[in-house]
Structure 1
Amino acid sequence: MHIYRTADHRFVGLPDWPFEPNYLDVGDGLRVHYVDEGEKGARPVLMLHGEPTWSYLYRHMIGPAVDAGFRVLAPDLIGFGRSDKPLDHGVYSYAAQVAWMRQWLEALDLRDIILVCQDWGSLIGLRLVAEMPDRFCGVALSNGGLPEGQPAPRAFAIWRAFSRFSPVFPIGRIVNAGTKRDLEAAEIAAYDAPFPTRASKVAARVFPSFVPLGDNVAVPDQKRAWASLERFDKPFLCCFSDGDPITRGGDALFRGRVPGSEGMAHRTLSGGHFIQEDDPEGFVAAIAAVAVAADGVRSAGAAPGSV
C-alpha cells in the first residue's frame, strides 16, 4: 500500500493549535493521529470531523470542553490531517472508515463517551454508536445525518460533482465557503496544511461519492444502524445550525425516531455548515447539556432531558 504522510513541519505554528500529536496504528499499520487533552479519568468527548476538514476544525471547542471537565479526543480520519493517507482510492470506503475508527476507539478502550459529530463525523460516529451503544452515554449532533438511500439534495449533488470533476480542490477555501464568518488567511492555510499535493487529497475527493444516497452499496449497513439507533435511549441532542443549505431541517429525521431524543433541549446554533467555526460556544454548551442529561439518566428513575 502506498501511503502519503504529511511532513511534520506543515503543522508548526498553526493559529490556535497548541495541541501535541498522538498516534495509534490501525488496520494494516495505518497511523491515526489524534488530539487527547484533559484528565485521562474524565468523561471522554469524541469530536469527529468530516469532509474535507481535520481535527483543526474543533480547535475553538477543545480547550473550553477540557476546562468544563471533559477529556477531549479528536482524531483525524484516515486520509485527512496528520493521519496516513493511502494514495489508492480503492483503499477507501465508508465501511473501512467505520472499521478504522472502531479499531482506534477499542484500542484506547474508551467508554462512557459523548459523541460530538458533524458532516462525515456523523456518518461514521453514528455507525459507531449503533455498533457499540454500551460505550456511549450520549450524542450531540450538528449538521449531519445517517442517510439510508434518500435522493441526493440538489446542493449535495452539486458538491459531489465538484469534488469529482473540478481540476482544483482548494480545501481551505472550501471550508471558508461553508462558514458564515470569513476565516483569516492563516486559518485557511491551516486547513490546507495536511494536503500539500494533489495526490494527498485523494480521500477528500472520493468521500462525497460514499454518501449512501440513492442506490448505494452502504444502504443495507445504514438500515441496520438505524435499527440500533431506534433502540438508543441515552441522551441524543440535535443542535443543527440555522444557515446550512445541505443539512437544514435534518434534525427532524432523529427527533422522535431515536428514543434518547425525547425530552432533550434541542437547539438551533448560529452559523453555516461548519458550525464549529461559527458557534463553538453553542456546540460546547450542547455537549454540557448531554453530560447533564446522561448524569440524570443514572439517577433513579430519571429520563433523558429531565434534569
Structure 2
Amino acid sequence: MKTLRTPDERFQGLADYSFAPNYTDVDDTEGGKLRVHYVDEGPRGAAPVLMMHGEPSWSYLYRHMISGFVVKGHRAVAPDLVGFGRSDKPSERGDYTYARNVMWMGDWLRAVDLRNITLICQDWGGLIGLRLWAEMPDRFARVVVANTALPTGDQPMGTAFDNWRKFSQDVPVFPAGGILKGGTVSHLSDEVIAAYDAPFPDESYKAGARQFPMLVPASPDDPATAPNRKAWKVIQELQTPVLTAFGADDQIMAGVDTVFQKLCPGAAGQPHVVLPKAGHFLQEDVGADLVSLTCDFIDRTS
C-alpha cells in the first residue's frame, strides 16, 4: 500500500496544540505497516477519556477538551484516524474502506490497551468508535454520542447529507479548514483554519478526506450495512451508560440522538442534551460544556 506521511514541520507552532506525539504501527492488510498518531495526556493510571474525531478533522479538534480533562485529573487520549492528522495517509482512494478503518483503529486500541474507557465520538469517530464498542464492549465503561450515527442504509440520509456528499466529490480543492469553519457556529480564526489544513500539504494527501463521505452506508446494499446491523444487535443488548449531546445547529445529524436514546438500554434516564449555539463540530463551539457534561457523566455512572 502506497502511503504519504505529512512532514513534521507542518505541525509546528499550531495554536493551542503543543502535545507530544505518540505513535503505534498497525497492519495495513497488504503486508506493510501504517503509523497511527495519538495524543495521550494526563495521568497514565487514570481511566482514559477516548476522543474520536471525524471527517475531515483530526485530534486538533479536541485540543481544548484534552486540556480540560487533564485539569480535572483524567487521562485524555485522542487518536488521528488513518488518512488524517499526523497518521499515515494511504494515497489511493480505493485503499480506504469502512471495514479497514474499523480494523485499523481496533488494532490501535488493542495495541495501546485502553480499558475502562469513556468514549466521546463525533461524526466518523462514531461510525468507527461505536463499532469498536460493539466489538470490544468490555473495554468501554460509558459512551458519549455527539453528532454522529451508526447508519445501516435502511433510512434516507437526508438532503443535507446528500448535498455534503456531492460537494465533497465535486469541489476542485477540498477545503478541510473551510469545512470546519462551515460546520461551526463560533468564529474560527485564520490560524485555526490553517491548523485544520496542516495535515494536507496538497490534494494528494486528501484521498481519505475525499473518500470518507462515500463510505457512509446510505443504501441497504452497501458493504458496511450488514456489519453495522450486527453491531446494533450487540449495542441493543449492552447496559453501558450512554449520553447523547448534539448540536442544535447541526442539520446533518438532527434527530439522530433520539435513535440512540430509544435503542441503547444504557441511555434510559440519562440527562441527554441538545446544546444551543453548537454546530456539527461542537468541540469548537461548546467544548468546555462537553467536558463538564462528560465529567458529570463519569461521576454519576462510576
Q: Does TM-score exceed 0.5, indicating one fold?
A: yes
Structure-2 residue corresponding to 1:269: 275
DSSP-derived class of the 1:263 partner: coil
Whole-angstrom CA distance in 2 between matches of 1:105 and 1:51: 19
Rounded Cα–Cα distance in structure 2 between residues aligned with 1:268 and 1:61: 18
The residue type equivalent to 1:14 in the other structure is L
The alignment-based identity, stated in percent, is: 52
**Structure 2 match to 1:160:** 165
Determine the structure 2 residue equivalent to 1:290. 297
Give structure 1 stretches of 5+ with no counterpart. Answer: 296-307
Query: Alpha-carbon deviation of 1:234?
Result: 1.6
SS class of match (2:246): coil
Pick aligned residue for 2:286 from 279, 289, 293: 279
Query: CA–CA distance in 2 between the matches of 1:252 and 1:167?
Result: 36
Summarize deviations over 1:272-296 as a string: whole Å, max 9, x none. Answer: 000000000111122113212331x
Q: Partners in 1 of 2:101 and 2:290 — Cα distance?
A: 24
2:23 alignment counterpart: 23
Could you tell me how far apart the structure 1 residues matched to 2:261 and 2:63 are? 28
Residue deviations 1:137-174 (CA, integer Å, cap 9, x gap): 00011100101112121110111111112112111011
Query: Partner amino acid for 1:185?
Result: D
What does residue range 139-178 of structure 1 map to in structure 2 within 5 Å?
Answer: 139-149=143-153, 150-178=155-183
Q: Deviations over 1:151-204 (max 9, x none)?
A: 121110111111112112111011100000120000000000000111101100
Letter matched to residue 156 of structure 1 = F
Q: Deviations over 1:36-55 (max 9, x none)?
A: 00111101011000000000
1:66 is paired with a residue whose SS is helix
- Select which of 119, 124, 127 maps to 1:123: 127
Other-structure match for 2:227: 221
State the AA in 2 paired with 1:21. Answer: P
TM-score normalised by structure 1 residue count: 0.94
Aligned mates of 1:88, 1:143 — CA distance in 2: 28
TM-score of the aligned structures, taking structure 2 as reference length:
0.96
- In the aligned structure 1, how far is the partner of 2:227 from the partner of 2:112? 25
Between 1:209-218 and 1:103-112, the stretch displaced more is 209-218
5+ residue gaps, structure 2, are none
**Aligned mate of 1:108, from 88, 112, 116:** 112
Partner residue in 1 for 2:244: 238
Matches of 2:43 and 2:72, distance apart in 1: 11
| Residues 238-265 of structure 1 deviation map (CA, whole Å, 9 limit, x = unaligned) | 0111110000111110113100001111
Q: In structure 2, how many angstroms separate the alpha carbons of the residues matched to 1:106 and 1:269? A: 33
Asked if 2 retains the 8 angstrom alpha-carbon contact of 1:236 and 1:290, the reply is no
Could you report, residue by residue, the CA deviation over 1:103-148 in whole angstroms, capped at 9, with x for unpaired residues?
Answer: 0010111100000010000100000001110000000111001011
- The answer as to whether partners of 1:140 and 1:286 remain within 8 angstroms in 2 is no
TM-superposed deviation, 1:67? 1.2
Deviation at 1:24, TM superposition (A): 0.5
Residues 40-93 of structure 1, C-alpha deviations (whole Å, 9 max, x = no match): 110101100000000000011001111112111100000000000010112110
* 1:11 corresponds to 2:16: no
Q: C-alpha separation between the residues in 2 aligned to 1:241 and 1:167?
A: 29
**Kept after mapping to 1: 8 A contact 2:48/2:76:** yes
Residues 282-291 or 142-151, more deviating: 282-291
Which runs of structure 1 show a deviation greater than 4 angstroms over 4 or more consecutive aligned residues?
Answer: none
Q: Which amino acid aligns with 1:226?
A: W
Confirm whether residue 79 of structure 1 aligns to residue 86 of structure 2.
no
